[in-house]
Amino acid sequence: MRVSMMLKTSWGLLALAASATLILWLGQYTDVDLRLADMVYDHARGVFPLQHAWFAEHFNHVILKALLSCLAGAAVVMALWDAWRPHLHWAPAKRLGMRVLGMSAISVPVLVSLLKRASTSHCPWDLERYGGHAPYIRLLEMMPAGVDAGHCLPGGHASSALWLIALSAFWWPAQPRKALGVGALMLAFALGVGFVQQLRGAHFLTHTLWSAWIACAVVMANYSLAKRQVFGYSSVPRNAALFEQ
């Protein structure tokens, strides 16, 4: 069992390394970001037509984000409540999954937000190419002197949904196909949330892809921490008899 888990972990790390290389290559050596942004930009009018569309701006960016934030808060509360007063009828796998979900609901958005604040990349609608003021600078290039940082990479809005990838922890490793299926479904949903932001001119494709990569790495780390009980949180409630009274 331990060998099997080590192999699965190794494959996961290999997948993270390969996907990071691919995303870096897309952003640094191709024009896919610009090509896709060009497709949704109206050069004749000098605007992103969907920038202020109700579905994109109000539903996706405000209403949906609020709903996902409430859901994240509920996941954190449930995880903390179980840590304080363990649910006796929860199986260890469910308890571990809840732990990973609660940890991810906080750490994924927070880490993406911190990295975004530290980045120099600008959003499409801020670029000179799309009527803005800033030059287009790739991830590994230096921002010209006198140009303020853009703070737009990775994509922050997608992270409001990307923590849902942690739902896969409820079925890992006992049901790997189901776990991967749930994780892939949640990843597709979160990428869709980020894609709507791309239609508005708020982010490039690689901005969303980096957010997804960060989320996958964080969820894997959270699972490892919860599994190893790094924070002293057991997957099996202690002194269960105390709670039966």
Specify the range with the lowest mean pLDDT, choosing from 6-20, 93-107, 134-148.
Answer: 6-20
CA torsion, ordered 73, 79, 85, 86, to nearest 10 deg:
150
Percent of all residues in the chain with a pLDDT value above 90, rounded to a whole number: 83
What is the rounded CA–CA span in Å between residue 19 and residue 38? 25
Instruction: Report whether pLDDT(19) > 50.
Output: yes
Of 133, 139, 193, nearest to 162 by C-alpha is 193
Q: What is the pLDDT of residues 201-213, one digit of tens each?
A: 999 999 999 999 9
Give the pLDDT band of residue 87 (cuts 50, 70, 90).
confident
212 contacts 190 by C-beta, under 8 angstroms: yes
Q: Which residues pair with 134 in a beta bridge?
A: 127
Instruction: Report whether pLDDT(245) > 50.
Output: no
155 contacts 212 by C-beta, under 8 angstroms: no
What is the rounded CA–CA span in Å between residue 121 and residue 245? 57
The average pLDDT across 215-238 equals 77
pLDDT at 9: 72
pTM reported for the whole predicted model: 0.90
Give the pLDDT band of residue 7 (cuts 50, 70, 90).
low
pLDDT at 3: 55
Percent of all residues in the chain with a pLDDT value above 70, rounded to a whole number: 90
DSSP element (H, E) containing 93: helix 92-118
